[in-house]
Structure formats: C-alpha cells, structure tokens
Structure 1
C-alpha cells in the first residue's frame, strides 16, 4: 500500500459496539512479534492521540495491560476485538495504536508492514 498522506479512516470492532475515526497515514505500518501482537495478528498504524476519535462505544471497551504496563490495549467487552490502544511514543507524545485490520474502509492484504522485533523489548 502506498498511502503516504494522512486521511480520515473509519474502524470498528466485530460486533459494531465500538467505532472510531482516525486521521492517519498508512505508510510506516508495523507488524510486531511480541507475545501479544503476534498472537493477535496485529498490523499497526500510529497516530497522535489527538487524531483519534471514539465515535461509538464509550464505556463498551475495557483495558488490558501487560509487561511494563505502558500500553492501554483497548478491546470490546462484547466481541473481544481490540481495535486500538493508547500509549506514549519515545518522544513523550501520546499516541493511538490502530489495528488496521479493524479499519472498515481499506482493502485487506493491500498493505506492506515493517517487521519489528518486539520480543526483544
């Protein structure tokens, strides 16, 4: 996928209880091999936290923390899908990590992601 410009994308969990919009470019995608991301098959895009808007489901998500407890992994209480998480970038800025497999307006399997060795973190 050669989408270097920032666009507004829509996404949701499987059951639709949680929906969001995010202004993000789909270049620089990350496929991490840490124990969490690998098992869930995430392909991630990162956006400033201010570029993320929860449009449906306030109160319908719950958090999962592990390891250093620095990333707030959010998932739907009903269907269990994890569309996004909140964290802090190395520069200290707040970010939203978007599971692009939950974006409803992109074609599956059209992206290219950089593989990151998260197991070594």
Structure 2
C-alpha cells in the first residue's frame, strides 16, 4: 500500500516549484518548504490513522532537502510509536505537529521524503486544497492503537 502511494508522488521540477513559509503556532519553529508542483496541484493526504487524525495532519511529501528550518530546530522534539520508525516532530512550546520523518532510507526505500503538515503553511486556504483520503487506520496493522478505539 505505501509503495503505491509513494510512486504517485510528483517528481521534483525546479521550473515548476514554489516555496512556502511555515511556522508552528507560537512562531518558535520557522521553516520553508519548496514544493513541485506548487501546492494547488498536489494531492494532499488526509489520513485517518491514529496519529494523523489526532494531530490534524494534512500532508505533502517533498524530498528532505526541500525543507529548510530557519529557526527553532532545537525546540522540535520527537514522538514515535508502533514500530518506532516514524519520528513525529512537534514544537515543545506550543505542541504544533510540524512534520514527520519516516526515515525511509532506514526502511530500505530509495526515496528520502518528509511528511509535512500543510496546516502550518502561511497564507494557505485549506478549502482550496486537493485532499485525498488515505485509510491509514485499517492499512497499517503494525500500529498498536487499541487504546484509541
């Protein structure tokens, strides 16, 4: 299931790219993300797994090098569960879920992507996003979420 999802992601094209400024709620963590194509052309993932649903993630998956943290990196802390592969990064000051690092290289993938929460982007209207639902709740059996039912 994940392999098919990652194969559908757009390829990076600097001629058709846009950089978005983003920040956590309190402004401690500031960063930019360059997406190609620009966000209106992306399929933004709305996953119903336990962590995405609770944190309100709406995700795009750019290459790691497309994320530039400009301040507050030391305020980012990680949370991990299940197989402990994904490192969910949040601001320790305000609790905003900023992005997650699936550490794909460690899982044997050739890609090195991050899951970036577009809810943190400045000036983006969520109503204008092309949301694609992803069934992470029933699709990721390794996640021990029985306590959340």
TM-score past 0.5 threshold: yes
Instruction: Confirm or deny that 1:32 pairs with 2:76.
Output: no
**Larger-Rg structure:** 2
CA distance in 2 between partners of 1:6 and 1:28 (Å): 15
Structure 2 unaligned residues grouped into runs of 5+: 1-9, 11-15, 141-149
Which consecutive unaligned segments of at least 5 residues does structure 1 have? none
TM-score (norm 2): 0.73
**1:72·1:85 contact (CA, 8 Å) conserved in 2?**
yes
Are 1:77 and 2:95 an aligned pair? Answer: no
- Runs of at least 4 residues off by over 4 Å: none
Q: What are the within-5 Å matches in structure 2 for residues 6-21 of structure 1?
A: 6-21=17-32
Shift of 1:7: 1.0
Q: Which has the higher helix share?
A: 2
Distance, in Å, in 2 between the alignment partners of 1:10 and 1:44 is 15
Q: Which has the higher contact order (CA 8 A, sep 6+)?
A: 1
Q: CA deviation at 1:94?
A: 1.5
TM-score by length of 1: 0.89
SS for the counterpart of 1:50 is: helix
Output one character per residue of 1:34-58: Cα deviation in whole Å (capped at 9) or x when no partner.
0010112211011000111101102
Residue 110 (structure 1) shift: 1.4
Alpha-carbon RMSD across the aligned residues, in angstroms, is 1.7
